[in-house]
A and B are shown apart, each in its own frame.
Chain A
């Protein structure tokens, strides 16, 4: 079946350093790639997304890149802060299909060391 692989499963970085999380998808029909952040005791929340007609998107300290040919997309967080500690999920879906077909990665637990 279709799959989204996410790496690493855990990541620890020094405060102020950068963090990178990578995902690979298998469904060629995927054209929408959201990233969700789940803080302790809360549900996942969308933080940024990218569509297949764009190679990169940036929002303050967060950026996402997409390589359609290789079916890779990544989340980059610069100048990490303690509030960035959370579990991050990548996902892939087809904007012309149902949201119920969205496939989530297995998650990355990011810890920011003071």
Chain B
């Protein structure tokens, strides 16, 4: 295991539902990330947090809302999603935000939007 856990592992939701993805890292890292993985864009960075503060939002639609209550936990709140949002959502963490820091990934949440 990488020390990064994600729940749930699988999620099916309708377009009008509201759900949340949870990520927890047990590595004492300061930076955390959300990625979207799909066939079209294998690793697409969505959000970055450093010491609980959001540092990057890569033009992600507002139907995705991240939350980082502390350096160990990261959430992705979902509402009124579209079928094209179906993908694997990966959480990652790294010790710092330095460009040569190894990123530790969780196993991902497989999301299906009906």
Contact = CB atoms under 8 A, between A and B. Distances in A.
Q: Do A and B bind each other?
A: yes
Interface centre among B97, B98, B104, B106 (most CB of A within 10 A): B98
Interface residues of B, number: 26
B99 A45 contact: no
B42 A99 contact: no
A45 B55 contact: no
Interface centre among A89, A104, A105 (most CB of B within 10 A): A104
B90 A34 contact: no
Interface string B15-58: 00000000000000001010000000011010010000001100
A17 interface: no
Interface in A68-114: 87, 89, 93-102, 104-107
A7 B100 CA distance: 23
Contact of B45 (A34, A41, A100): A100
A99 B106 CA distance: 17
Interface centre among A43, A44, A96, A100 (most CB of B within 10 A): A43
A43 B99 CA distance: 19
A45 B45 contact: no
B48 A45 contact: no
B102 A34 contact: yes
Nearest to A105: B42
B107 A99 contact: no
Contact of A41 (B4, B94, B105, B107): B107
A99 B43 contact: no
A45 to B, nearest CB: 7
Given A44-B43, A46-B102, A51-B100, 12 more contacts: A32-B100, A43-B105, A93-B99, A94-B99, A95-B99, A99-B97, A99-B101, A100-B48, A100-B55, A102-B45, A102-B99, A105-B42
Interface of B: 2, 4, 31, 33, 42-43, 45, 48, 55-56, 90, 92, 94, 96-108
Instruction: Name the 6 nearest CB pairs between A and B, nearest first.
Output: A43-B105, A95-B100, A104-B43, A93-B99, A32-B100, A100-B48
Interface of A: 32, 34, 36, 41-46, 49, 51, 87, 89, 93-102, 104-107
